[in-house]
Structure 1
Amino acid sequence: MNYPAFPLYPGKYALPAVPDPSEHAAYVRLREPAATLADLDGVVLTYQQHVMHYACSRYWNRQLEGWVRGELRVLEYRSRILGICGGFGLGAPVAALVLEQLGALGATRVITVGTAASLQRELRAGEIVVCDRALRDEGVSHHYLGPAPYAMPSSDLTDHLARILRARTTEVRRGTGWSTDAPYRETAAEVAHYGAADVLTADMEAAAVFAVAEHRNIDAAAVFAVADSLVDRRARQNSPVTRNALHVALEAALVALGDTARASQRPGDEALR
C-alpha cells in the first residue's frame, strides 16, 4: 500500500504562501501606528506563566496589549530593552504562530525557555539543557523546511547562551532534543531508540521554532529545565528545583539576548536608544 508523503503537497516548503505575517503587523498598526519590535534587543518565549510572573516581579515592564497572541511585555534588563512573551499555550503550532507575529513586527532574536522530559537516566529534574538541534517529529517544521531529520538553532546565540549558563551553574547539558506534537503518544520504543542515540530531552516546540526562525531569518535558541523523565517514568511535579532552573534559564536568556544585540550594534546606535 502506498501512503501519502508529508506534507501532502510535495515541495510546499519552497512555495510562497497566500497569507503572510505582514498582514498581522498591518492589522496591529491600524490601532497602534508606531507598533514595532525592531528596537528590542530580543524576545524570550516562555510556556510557564510563573516565569512571566517572575520576570515582571523583578524588572520594570509594560504590556503591549493585542500585539501578538498571548501576553507580550517589554522589560528593562541591565540597561537593555527586551521582550517576554507567554500565556499563548503549548505546542509547535502556537509557538510557530507567535514567532511569525513577533518577526512580522520586527523581532530578530528569540530564545525559548521551557520544560522538557528527560530521555537519559542520569538527567534529573532541575537540570538545564541547551538544545543545539531538534529532531523534527512534529508537523510544523515540514511546512517550512525541506526534508531533513533536524532543525537547527542559531549557532552563535546557542553557543553564547551555553557559555553564560555554564558560568552560572554546573547543572547544564547541551545536546539534541526530540520535538513531538503528541506528548501522550511518546512510546517506550521511541524513548529507548532516541535515548540510545544520545538524545537528551523530549519537548513540543523547539523544532518548529528553529524552522520558522530559519525561514524568516531570525536568530533563535532554546533552553529547557528538566521537569520529568520518560526513562524511569517520573511524572511532572510542582518541583522547586525545576522552577528555580527555569528562573536561571530565563536570566541567562536575557543576558544572551542583550549581549548579542550589543555585539551586533553599529557604531553610533547606542545614541539612538
Structure 2
Amino acid sequence: TAPQPWQAIAQRFCSIGSCGTLNQSATENKIIIPTSAIRDEGTSYHYIEKGDEIAAEISSINIATQCLEKHNIPYILGKIWTTDGIYRETLNLIKKRKEQGCLAVDMECSASLAIAKFRNIPIIQFLFGADNLDATEWEQRDLTDYGFQSANKYILLALELAIAFGKEEYK
C-alpha cells in the first residue's frame, strides 16, 4: 500500500511541554519523563481501546534517560495525569491523582502516547514543572516568568533528544 502523508513526514516524535506539578519536592528543578499517563481526556479514546492508563514505550524512556544522564541533567520518571478539563482539577481529584502516584498534570501526554501507539511511531516526551498544585493554594506560574527563562535549555534538550532518538548508540 502507498504510504500515508503523515508517514512521509514523521518517523519519531519528541515532545516538550510544561505541566502543573503535583509533587513539588520530587519534581523541582528536574525534567519529568512520563512513564505512563492517566487518561482523563477525550482524544486518546479515539485512537486506542478504553482504559484508565496508558504506558510509555520503555525504549523511548531509556533513550531519554540515557541522554539526560549523558548531559548530567536531573530528571525524574513517573506517572502523569492528563486532563483537558482544567477547571475540573478540584482539590479532591488532585488528592486522588497524587495518591495514584501522579507527579504532574498536563493536557497532552496520554493523547500523544495513544496517537503514537495507534500510528506505531515512537515518541519521547519530557515535561518541566510550571504551576504548583502541591501547595495549600494554587501557585500559578506564568510561562513568561517561569518557563521562558529556561526556554533555550529546553529547546536544546529537545534537539539533543531528537538527535539521540535516531542514533544507534541509544538503541
Query: What TM-score, normalized to structure 2?
Result: 0.84
What is aligned with 1:256? 161
- Higher relative CO (Cα under 8 Å, sequence separation at least 6) belongs to 2
Distance 2:45 2:159 in 1: 29
SS of the counterpart of 2:102? coil
CA positional deviation for 1:122:
1.2
CA contact (8 A) 2:27 2:103 kept: no
Q: Report what 2:86 is aligned to.
A: 183
**1:187 maps to amino acid:** T
Out of 94, 97, 111, the position equivalent to 1:208 is: 111
The DSSP-based 3-state class of the residue aligned with 2:96 is: helix
Deviations along 1:128-150, whole A, 9 cap, x unmatched?
Answer: 20111111111011111112222
Deviation at 1:108, TM superposition (A): 1.1
1:236 aligned residue: 141
1:118 is displaced (CA, Å) by 0.5
Match of 1:151 among 46, 54, 70: 54
Q: Take 2:97 and 2:36, find their aligned partners in 1: how far apart are those partners?
A: 13
Contact 2:27/2:76, CA 8 A, preserved across alignment: no
Alignment partners' CA distance in 1, 2:11 and 2:55: 16
Distance 1:246 1:130, change over 3 A: farther
Q: How much identity, in percent, do the aligned residues show?
A: 24
Residues 118-129 of structure 1 mapped to structure 2, 5 A cutoff: 118-123=21-26, 126-129=29-32
> TM-score scaled by structure 1?
0.54
Q: 1:246 to 1:149 in 2, by over 3 A?
A: farther
Does 2:29 match 1:135? no
Cα 1:123–1:246 change in 2 (3 A) is farther
Please list every run of at least 4 consecutive aligned residues from structure 1 whose deviation after the TM superposition is greater than 6 angstroms: none
Amino acid of the structure 2 residue aligned with 1:122: S
Residue deviations 1:33-88 (CA, integer Å, cap 9, x gap): xxxxxxxxxxxxxxxxxxxxxxxxxxxxxxxxxxxxxxxxxxxxxxxxxxxxxxxx
AA in 2 matched with 1:235? Q
Secondary structure at the residue paired with 2:25?
coil
Check conservation: 2:36, 2:54, Cα contact below 8 A: yes
Query: CA offsets per residue over residues 205-252 of structure 1, 9 Å max, x none?
Result: 011111011011100121001011112121123335x33555434323
SS at match of 1:105: helix
The runs of 5 or more residues in structure 1 that have no matched partner are: 1-20, 26-102, 265-273
- Distance, in Å, in 1 between the alignment partners of 2:8 and 2:133 is 38
Identify unmatched segments of 5+ residues in structure 2. Answer: none
Measured in 2, the distance between the counterparts of 1:124 and 1:262 equals: 28
Structure-2 residue corresponding to 1:161: 64
CA contact (8 A) 2:61 2:124 kept: yes
- Residue 262 of structure 1 deviates from its aligned partner by 2.8
What amino acid is aligned across from residue 83 of structure 2 in structure 1?
A: T
Change (3 A) 1:248 1:169: farther
Question: Contact 1:128/1:249 (CA < 8 Å) preserved in 2?
Answer: no
